[in-house]
Chain A
Amino acid sequence: MPNRVLKILVPIISIILGLFVGAIVMWMSGYDAINGYIALWHGIFGSSYAIGETIRQISPYLLAGLAVAFAFRTGLFNIGVEGQLIVGWFAAAYVGMAFQLPTFIHLPLALLAAAAAGALWALVPGILKATLRVHEVIVTIMMNYVALHIVNALISTISGGSYKIDRIHQTASLRSEFLSNLTDFSTLHYGILIALLMVGVMWFILEKTKTGYELKAVGFNDHASQYAGMNVNKNIVLSMVISGAFAGLGGAMEALGTFGNISTMAGFTGIGFDGIAVALLGANTPLGVVFGATLFGSLKYGANNMPNAAGVPIEIVSIVIALIIFFVASGYIIRVLLNRMSKKKEAK
């Protein structure tokens, strides 16, 4: 079977398997799986309000997915998207709250702050990898926890001991009356446009610039790239920084669009970790990430409807998502099975 077809088939089969095993889990736990999935479907597409909220949920997933995918193209595994997203969230919320500026300066400034914070957070593992060959997976995991604790402490300090900081000024907000009215007063905001713009930016960087070519080359084979005269270390740092900037913007979606502020967190948001799944499903391409983010954003938002409409705990969707990652990771065995099946067909 040609590789191109396999690349698309493996994620699709993984999604089907994930949903199927999820159905088995529901059925074994005494829930009606069909009703559960119908409730999920209605939760995603049931009304224009639901559709608006679903699209709103997709934007941070898009950016988290881009962040993971971009690093992956350089052969780097950025598990720190979660932490970069949290510092981006904080930076955007702080700039949105602390300054009073006209919209056309304030909003870009807040977005820029988020991207810069995320980039800065990713710079540390990038530099450590480039100069000392420290494995980025462990460093980024540790940076997640550092981000969580520091942001919580900053929130507490800035707000004078409270658990959240003041709301952002209207001038920094991504909220849109137009989009909200269009979708029956959902909280849909302009963030989705920024996220889609960034999909284009990633495509442009990777496909149309010299830097992008070098980044991909380093990802394929860093020794060969070195031999060809590319600065591998510079590319590693650059890739992490761009990846972190995407993640930081993902945090800005939450700060400037959905929540309008930041509160102390007892644990991680999970968006950054789900970004790994989004990128994996999308085969680390910009367009693939759009599909991955759409799937995960929809599943996550639609799941909210499951407890009320079908009595199924929300967590079933987390199980399905984890299973999908698991199956995508085990793509090798799916490829083997597919190849065997296609060979049998040929023999007939």
Chain B
Amino acid sequence: MSFLDLLYFIVPATIAYAAPLIFTAIGGVFSERSGVVNIGLEGLMVMGAFIGILFNLLYADTFGSWTPWIALLVAMVVSAVFSILHAVASISFRADQVVSGVAINMLGIAIALFSVKMIFGKGQTDLIQQKIARFDIPILQDIPIIGPMFFKSVYGSSILAISVALVAWFVIYKTPFGLRLRSVGEHPMAADTMGINVTRTRYVAVIISGALAGIGGAVYAITTTNDFGHATINGQGFMALAALIFGKWHPIGAMGAALFFGFAQALAISASKIPYIQDVPTVYLHILPYVLTILALAGFIGRANAPKAIGQPYIKGRR
């Protein structure tokens, strides 16, 4: 395989693997920027993946080729509603946000598997028939080298993911809402004094994170696994969490990190075909994203500054 062939193979795979991570990590950026830790991303993704597959199986006949897209929307709504649990616990009930997140993770997988058993009578669903179609982007695909790499047989969901990252950057850094979001995460007291409704802002942020994680989970299930079982989302949510920390709580940074993790996954899957890499035991490629995250946290890649008020419930009137 020539180097160029290799790139034609690995770049699209990288983007395909990165898309779910991008959605989810951006969701995490919203939540954590408002000061609410969201370890529950994994559970929210599980819920999204389950709903995405379930809707796809139930309504494929009704909606035809539109099914996967409507499935994404439904998954988004259901995960957003599910994330309200985390919001209520960690914002209103002052629960430990990490514990609440752990509960969300367990609850997500438990509810999804319970429902699968109930509906299908077995541990996993059937395979879906309506998948997200790959398509070639006209004109751009004819650009030499770059065309086949980035614009041939791409998933619509990947383009959507990258747009979401750009929109998130604009929202967080260029709009009044973004300013409020960041101030609530840095210094809720000061924000409250300035008339910003801390509780409402945090609720909105957590719900956005649920919505995006729901899309992320559904995209992963619909493009990669095509069914839902107990191992469908195995650590994707935690990887998204890692991407957001790796990306220093910045939407574009998170996207970059997600792309990198996508690359690591694509590499691990296709390692056997690549010269040199095929001699590296796959276990090193599997643990690469996690080890890198630990190194990044340890400051070898530059200190990341988490939002200052992260993890603390805001209690009005207490200094």
Q: Using a CB–CB distance below 8 Å, which chain A residues touch chain B?
A: 25, 29, 77, 79, 124, 128, 132, 134-135, 137-139, 141-143, 145-146, 149-150, 152-153, 266-267, 273, 276, 280, 313-316, 318-319, 321-323, 325-326, 328-333
Contact between chains at B291 and A142 (CB < 8 Å): yes
Closest 5 CB pairs of A and B: A318-B110, A153-B283, A313-B117, A322-B106, A322-B107
Contact between chains at A135 and B297 (CB < 8 Å): yes
Contact between chains at B107 and A326 (CB < 8 Å): yes
A29-B281 Cα distance, complex, nearest whole Å = 46
Across the interface, name the chain A residue whose C-beta is closest to B310.
Answer: A135
Contact between chains at B283 and A322 (CB < 8 Å): no
**A residues in contact with B287, CB < 8 Å:** 145-146, 149-150
**Shortest CB–CB separation between residue A107 and chain B, in angstroms?**
30
9 pairs, CB–CB < 8 Å, chain A vs chain B:
A79-B102, A134-B294, A138-B242, A273-B105, A276-B102, A280-B99, A328-B99, A329-B100, A330-B95
A149-B291 Cα distance, complex, nearest whole Å = 12
Selecting from B173-181, B183-191, B231-239, the interface stretch reads: B231-239
A325-B291 Cα distance, complex, nearest whole Å = 29
How many residues on chain B are close to A (CB under 8 Å)? 44
Tell whether A276 pairs with B99 under 8 Å between CB atoms, given A315-B117, A330-B93: yes
**A residues in contact with B96, CB < 8 Å:** 329
Among A138, A273, A276, A318, max chain B CB count under 10 A is at: A138
Tell whether A319 pairs with B111 under 8 Å between CB atoms, given A128-B298, A326-B85: yes
B222 interface hit (Cβ, 8 Å): no
Contact partner, A315, options B93, B100, B114, B235, Cβ 8 Å: B114
A326-B238 Cα distance, complex, nearest whole Å = 20
Contact partner, B283, options A134, A150, A325, A329, Cβ 8 Å: A150
Contact partner, A273, options B102, B114, B293, B294, Cβ 8 Å: B102
A150-B291 Cα distance, complex, nearest whole Å = 12
Q: Scoring B residues 285 to 301 as 1 if CB is less than 8 Å from chain A, else 0, what string do you get?
A: 01100110110011100
A152-B268 Cα distance, complex, nearest whole Å = 15
**A residues in contact with B117, CB < 8 Å:** 313-315
Contact partner, B98, options A79, A267, A319, A328, Cβ 8 Å: A79
Contact between chains at B107 and A316 (CB < 8 Å): no
Interface of B is mostly: helix
Chain B, 217-240, CB within 8 A of any chain A CB: 230-231, 234-235, 238
Given A124-B294, A142-B290, 14 extra CB contacts under 8 A = A25-B114, A134-B298, A138-B241, A142-B238, A145-B238, A146-B290, A267-B230, A276-B102, A318-B114, A319-B114, A325-B103, A329-B95, A329-B96, A332-B94
Tell whether A325 pairs with B102 under 8 Å between CB atoms, given A139-B297, A146-B291, A332-B95: yes
**A residues in contact with B4, CB < 8 Å:** none
Among B89, B105, B245, B282, max chain A CB count under 10 A is at: B89
B118 interface hit (Cβ, 8 Å): yes
A325-B104 Cα distance, complex, nearest whole Å = 9
B113 interface hit (Cβ, 8 Å): yes
Contact between chains at A266 and B89 (CB < 8 Å): no
Among B106, B111, B293, max chain A CB count under 10 A is at: B106
**Shortest CB–CB separation between residue A299 and chain B, in angstroms?**
12
**A residues in contact with B290, CB < 8 Å:** 142-143, 145-146
Across the interface, name the chain B residue whose C-beta is closest to A149.
Answer: B286
Across the interface, name the chain A residue whose C-beta is closest to B97.
Answer: A329
**Shortest CB–CB separation between residue B85 and chain A, in angstroms?**
7
B39 interface hit (Cβ, 8 Å): yes
B36 interface hit (Cβ, 8 Å): no
**B residues in contact with A319, CB < 8 Å:** 107, 110-111, 114
A128-B300 Cα distance, complex, nearest whole Å = 12
**Shortest CB–CB separation between residue B41 and chain A, in angstroms?**
11
**A residues in contact with B110, CB < 8 Å:** 315, 318-319, 321-322
Contact between chains at B294 and A142 (CB < 8 Å): yes
**B residues in contact with A333, CB < 8 Å:** 92-94
Contact between chains at B297 and A323 (CB < 8 Å): no
Tell whether A273 pairs with B106 under 8 Å between CB atoms, given A149-B283, A280-B99, A319-B111: yes
Contact between chains at B281 and A153 (CB < 8 Å): yes
Contact between chains at B103 and A326 (CB < 8 Å): yes
Across the interface, name the chain A residue whose C-beta is closest to B88.
Answer: A330
**A residues in contact with B85, CB < 8 Å:** 326
A142-B105 Cα distance, complex, nearest whole Å = 16
A328-B89 Cα distance, complex, nearest whole Å = 10
**Shortest CB–CB separation between residue A301 and chain B, in angstroms?**
17
**A residues in contact with B107, CB < 8 Å:** 319, 322-323, 326
**B residues in contact with A321, CB < 8 Å:** 106, 110
Contact between chains at B294 and A325 (CB < 8 Å): no
A330-B99 Cα distance, complex, nearest whole Å = 9
B109 interface hit (Cβ, 8 Å): yes
Across the interface, name the chain B residue whose C-beta is closest to A139.
Answer: B294
Across the interface, name the chain A residue whose C-beta is closest to B306.
Answer: A135
Contact between chains at B238 and A141 (CB < 8 Å): yes
**A residues in contact with B282, CB < 8 Å:** 153
Across the interface, name the chain B residue whose C-beta is closest to A266.
Answer: B231
Across the interface, name the chain A residue whose C-beta is closest to B291.
Answer: A146
Contact between chains at B93 and A138 (CB < 8 Å): no
A40-B74 Cα distance, complex, nearest whole Å = 35
Contact between chains at B102 and A134 (CB < 8 Å): no
**Shortest CB–CB separation between residue B2 and chain A, in angstroms?**
30
Across the interface, name the chain B residue whose C-beta is closest to A154.
Answer: B283
Across the interface, name the chain B residue whose C-beta is closest to A334.
Answer: B93
Across the interface, name the chain B residue whose C-beta is closest to A319.
Answer: B110
**Shortest CB–CB separation between residue B249 and chain A, in angstroms?**
13
**Shortest CB–CB separation between residue A334 and chain B, in angstroms?**
9
Across the interface, name the chain A residue whose C-beta is closest to B96.
Answer: A329
**Shortest CB–CB separation between residue B299 and chain A, in angstroms?**
6
